[in-house]
Structure 1
C-alpha cells in the first residue's frame, strides 16, 4: 500500500473539513447577526405601535470598564480655599462637605444653569471636575456630577448638589472621588438603542410615553473590601406623556440588565 498516497488523502480530507467548518461557522454568525438585527427591528416596530416616542438612537457600541474607588480625605483641604462660605465637613463612609453662602446668589430663570455652572467652576473646590447632570436634578436640587479622566460618574459620592430656594442659590453639598482604579481591561458595551430595547423588553417603558434623555455614566454597583465598585450604565429618561412625569431608568451596559434604582443622589 502506498502510505504517501494515504497521507495525501488524509491531508486533503483534513483541509477540506477545516474549510467546511470555517464556512459553517461564518454562516452561523451571519444568521445570528441577521436574527438579532431582525429581532431589534421588530422590537422597534412594537415600541412605535405602543405609542412610545423615540429619539434617534445610536447603534454604536462604546467601550468601558469596571472602576473602583476608596474613601479619601481630599475635601479636608477645602477649608482654606473657600471664601464667603460657612463650611463644615462630615465624616462617615465618605467625606461630605456642606457649605452655606454668606450672600445667596440670585438666579435668572433663563440663565440659571449657566450661572450655576460658573459658580461650580469658580467657587467650589475642584469645581472644574464636575458637570451638570440634568437626569439627576430638579428645580430646587441641581446636581453636578464628577467627571474625572476615567469617565462621568453618577453617584452620591461624586457630586455637587446645589440647593435653590426662591430662585436663589443658598447652599450646597459636595462629595469627591480622589482616586479611581481600573479593575480589568476595557470591554465593549451595549449601544444606546440596545439599552432602550432592553428596558422595553423588561416592561420598564409604559405605553404612551417618550424617551427624553439617554446618558452613559458610571453607576454604583457594590461595596467590596473597602472599595466602591462602579459599572458603566445607560441612564434612560422615560416621560409619561399623560402626566409629564419623568422617571430615570438604569441599564447595566456590560451585563445588559436593568438595574433597580437606588437613592444615590
Structure 2
C-alpha cells in the first residue's frame, strides 16, 4: 500500500470522526430541556436553600476548558510485552493474569496497612514502583469508595489535569478490614494509550451551571446534601475500537433517606447524560 494512500485513509478517518462529533454536539444542544437556566431569576444558591439542599463550600462560576479526547484502550498483555524484561521485574512480587483489556495482579504476600488514614499513602508508594505505567495514575478521592468492611481506592489517568473516569483507565486497590487492619491481595489495572485531542480546546459550562441544570430538571431532591462535584472525562463514543471522551461534571448527592445518587452533566452542552449509553460506530 503506497504512502499517499495511507495518508488519505487517515485523513478520511479523522474527518469522519470530526463530522460525527459535530453532529453529536449540535444534537445535544437541540436536545436541551425547554427550561433554560437563563430563565431562572433567583440565584441557584437561594433555590437550593429554599429546598433545604445543602452544599459545603461555594459553587464555582469558573469556565474551564477541555477537549473531545481520543484514546486507544490497551490490551494489557501487549503493554506488558512492550518491555518484557522491565515489566517482569516490576511484577515479580506475585502472579499476573491478563484478560484482554484488564490486568489482575495477585501479590505473593498480602499487602497490610495498619491505619485507615495511611491507605492512600501506602498504596501510592506501592504503585509508583510496582505497577506498569504507575506514574500515569493519580489517586481519585471522589471516585473511591469507603465502607466499614471494604475500601476501594481508585486511581486514574488524566489529561491536562482532568481525570478520566471510565473503566478503560483505572487502577483499583480493594482493601478488606480484618482484625482491625486493612488487607489487600491484588489490584486490577486498565490503561488508555495515545490520548489525543480531536478538536481545539473548548470552553466548558461551569460547576454552577451543572447544578442549575440538575435542579431545574428535578434531579436534586429536596433535603438532599450535595456531597461533592468533580470534573472528569467520561466515555461517550467508540469508533472502530477508538474511545472518545468528553469532560463532564459528576455530582454526588445523599438524599434525605440516606440513599446515594450520582448525576453526570456534559460540560460542553450542559445536558444531563447520567443514563446515556455509549454510542458505538463500526463504520464511517
Alignment partner, residue 226 of structure 1: 241
Alignment partner, residue 200 of structure 1: 215
Structure 1: gaps spanning 5 or more residues: 1-34
Alignment partner, residue 161 of structure 1: 172
Alignment partner, residue 6 of structure 1: none
Instruction: Give RMSD over aligned pairs.
Output: 2.4
Shift of 1:240: 2.2
Structure-1 separation of matches of 2:161 and 2:46? 36
Moved over 3 A (4+): 35-38, 40-43, 75-80, 148-151, 261-264
Alignment partner, residue 21 of structure 2: none
Alignment partner, residue 11 of structure 1: none
**Pick aligned residue for 1:112 from 119, 143, 158:** 119
Larger deviation, residues 71-80 vs 51-60: 71-80
Structure 2: gaps spanning 5 or more residues: 1-35, 279-284
Structure-1 separation of matches of 2:89 and 2:140? 28
SS at match of 2:129: helix
Shift of 1:126: 1.2
Show the 5 A alignment for 1:144-159: 144-149=155-160, 151-159=162-170
**Pick aligned residue for 1:179 from 185, 194, 200:** 194
Alignment partner, residue 87 of structure 1: 96
**Pick aligned residue for 2:263 from 235, 249, 254:** 249
SS at match of 1:193: helix
Shift of 1:197: 1.0
SS at match of 1:228: strand
Shift of 1:214: 1.2
Q: Structure 1 residues 171, 131: CA separation in 2 closer, same or farther (over 3 Å shift)?
A: same
Structure-1 separation of matches of 2:121 and 2:136? 16
SS at match of 1:112: helix
SS at match of 2:235: strand
Larger Rg, first or second structure (1 or 2): 1
Show the 5 A alignment for 1:1-265: 39=40, 41-54=42-55, 55-72=57-74, 73-76=78-81, 77=83, 78-91=87-100, 95-107=101-113, 108-139=115-146, 140=150, 141-149=152-160, 151-166=162-177, 167-243=182-258, 245-261=259-275
**Partners of 1:40 and 1:197 within 8 A in 2:** no
Q: Residues 24-52 of structure 1, C-alpha deviation per residue, up to 9 Å, x if partnerless?
A: xxxxxxxxxxx967836433322111000
SS at match of 1:154: coil
> By percentage of residues, which structure has more helix?
1
Q: Residues 226-265 of structure 1, C-alpha deviation per residue, up to 9 Å, x if partnerless?
A: 211100001111122442x43222110001111124899x
Q: Structure 1 residues 237, 40: CA separation in 2 closer, same or farther (over 3 Å shift)?
A: farther
Structure-2 separation of matches of 1:115 and 1:241? 35
Q: Residues 5-32 of structure 1, C-alpha deviation per residue, up to 9 Å, x if partnerless?
A: xxxxxxxxxxxxxxxxxxxxxxxxxxxx
Aligned residues: 226
Q: Structure 1 residues 161, 222: CA separation in 2 closer, same or farther (over 3 Å shift)?
A: same
Structure-2 separation of matches of 1:134 and 1:155? 15
Larger deviation, residues 116-125 vs 217-226: 116-125
Q: Structure 1 residues 52, 150: CA separation in 2 closer, same or farther (over 3 Å shift)?
A: closer
